[in-house]
Every structure is written in C-alpha cells, then in structure tokens.
Amino acid sequence: MTERTFWRRLHARWAARRPPVVSVLRLDGVIGGGGRFQRGLNLDGLADEIDAAFAGARVRAVALAINSPGGAPVQAELIRQRLVSLSREKEVPIYAFCEDVAASGGYWLACAASKIYAQDASVVGSIGVISAGFGAPELLAKIGVERRVYAAGERKGMLDPFQAENPDDVAHLAELQRDIHDGFKTLVRDSRGERLQASEAELFNGAFWTGRRALALGLVDAIGDLRTVMRDEFGPKVRFRQSRRKRGLLARLGLGRSAAGAALGADLLDGIEARALWARFGR
C-alpha cells in the first residue's frame, strides 16, 4: 500500500464517521436577468453557489428549495443543466422542494431533481408558455404622437406595442411559443416518466394546481418539507449547509414582491412584470 493510498483510506474512514451533509440551495424569485433593485435567478449569478453546493466529501445530497413563478426559459434550462451535470459528475442526488410556488420555469427547475416534494398548499405546474404586453396605437393617435420606426428587415419591427397588431406577427410568435412549449413537455416527460398520472392534454395546458393535486397527477413524488424528508433519508444527525444569496435592495428593505414600484426606470418595469408573475398564482 502506498503512502497516498493509506492517507486516502484514512481520510475516507474519518469522513464516514462524521455526520452527512445536505447542501440547501435556495432558488427564490423570478427567473431572468433581474436589475439593480431585484435579483433574478440566472446561471451567471448562481454558478458559484451551485458549484459550492456539490463541493465536499461529506455532501450526500443537494436540496433545492424552490419558490419561483417562472420567467426566462433559457435561464431555467441553463441552471437545470448545470445542476444535472454536477449531480452526475459528483454522484450526488438532487431533491427538489416546492415551497409557495414552483410554476412554469419554477417547475422547470424542479425537474433537475430525481424526487420532487411539495406542501399541500404549494402552487405547482403551469407547464406552458406565455407572452403578455400592451398595445397603445390608438392612445398615441389620440394625444397626437406619431410613432416612427426605421428598420432594415421587413420583420424587424414585429410586435411593436405602439403599432397596430399584425396577424402575421402574432402567428410567428405562436410558432415560437409552440417550440418552447414542446421542449418543456419533453423535459417533463423525460424527468417524470411513468410517474405522470394524467393525459398530456391535462398536464400540459398551462394549468396549475395545489401540491396535493400535483401529487395525484404525478408531477411531485410526495408531500413533505425539506428538513423532515432529509432527516428521514440521511438520519437525524444530518447537517444542513445553507447557501444564501445577496438580496436586492427591495428584499433587504423588507419590501420584496409587494413594493416593486420602488424601483426606477427599467427596474420599475421589471418590478411590475415580476409582480404580475407572482400575482398569477395568488402570491
């Protein structure tokens, strides 16, 4: 036996006697870029925390505490891919715990886990794609403002909210949404497999349910909270290693979702959109 092998085995025995560790990664907020006042969930902001969650010889699992109404599908997939990649590389399982809301992109994140848990009153699902906005061409005409758009490319100005709606533009948007929706459906099928207990027409129509109903549909595996489930899985001596992000100004002031109007300029619009996402789910 070489000296290196001896010390490796000694370290492994020493580590095995110490309490196991579960890394808790909080995924709280709207998925996307965020702003100066509100922090969005995106891979750039989460990469270091995700890497740290899987680091350490005693880490037995990573628990995702999810509270998100969704947002940008690309960022949701980038975060999910990083989680799944590290889970396979480190051979550390992922468990997802839906808190108040794990809807749309929030549920997308939950699909990184081998097992998904929720509370009875959690909001889960919304497996669909949505785009929303406002149109104001008549308002501009009424107040005497003329909209001028100069573009190279006949479709470059499509879906401009200050011009009359063009049916061809709407059809193009619908096609994009179908592509994204198809990807979302494939992800859920691959993640949940035979655990799904309802027709695709019911599961993938954009509806959302309580955690108890999501359990019956096969979208979650059980009703349970993070601490209890992890203690049952890894024993009463399990240690929880919390990952805490720096919060935006609104959250630090205790204003959070209810005071998005405190932001200025572009952040004001971001805040309004974020509030609208939460409001869809009664939060």
Per-residue DSSP letters for 24-36? EEEEES-BS-B-S
Q: What is the dihedral of CA 207, 225, 257, 101, to 10 degrees?
A: -10
| pLDDT higher than threshold 90 for residue 187 | yes
CATH number at residue 216: 3.90.226.10
* 125 φ/ψ angles, rounded to the nearest 5 degrees: 120, -125
CB–CB of 27/41 below 8 Å?
yes
| pLDDT higher than threshold 90 for residue 39 | no
pTM: 0.80
Q: How far from the centroid of its chain's Cα atoms is residue 20's Cα?
A: 27
- Shared domain for 108 and 64, answered yes or no, is yes
Output the six-digit token pair for 200: 């695709």
* Percentage above 70 pLDDT, the chain: 79
Q: How many structural domains comprise the chain?
A: 2
pLDDT tens-digit readout, 45-82: 999 999 999 999 899 999 999 999 999 999 999 999 99
As a whole number, mean pLDDT of residues 89-108 equals 97
Distances (CA, A) of 250 to 18, 42, 43, 196, 271: 40, 18, 21, 39, 10
Read off the pLDDT band of 161 (50, 70, 90). confident
* Percentage above 90 pLDDT, the chain: 59
Choose between 164 and 257: higher pLDDT. Answer: 164
Domain that holds residue 165: 128-192
Q: Distance between CA atoms of 223 and 132, rounded to whole angstroms?
A: 33
- Shared domain for 80 and 157, answered yes or no, is no
Read off the pLDDT band of 139 (50, 70, 90). confident
As a whole number, mean pLDDT of residues 222-243 equals 95
Read off the pLDDT band of 11 (50, 70, 90). low
Write down the pLDDT at residue 127.
Answer: 95
| pLDDT higher than threshold 80 for residue 256 | no
- Shared domain for 100 and 134, answered yes or no, is no
- Shared domain for 112 and 14, answered yes or no, is yes
- Shared domain for 163 and 266, answered yes or no, is no
As a whole number, mean pLDDT of residues 158-186 equals 88
As a whole number, mean pLDDT of residues 104-117 equals 97
As a whole number, mean pLDDT of residues 239-249 equals 70
Interior CA angle at 263 toward 259 and 268, to 5°?
Answer: 95
CB–CB of 151/157 below 8 Å?
yes
Residue 174 lies in a domain: yes
Return the bridge partners of 24, or none. 63, 242
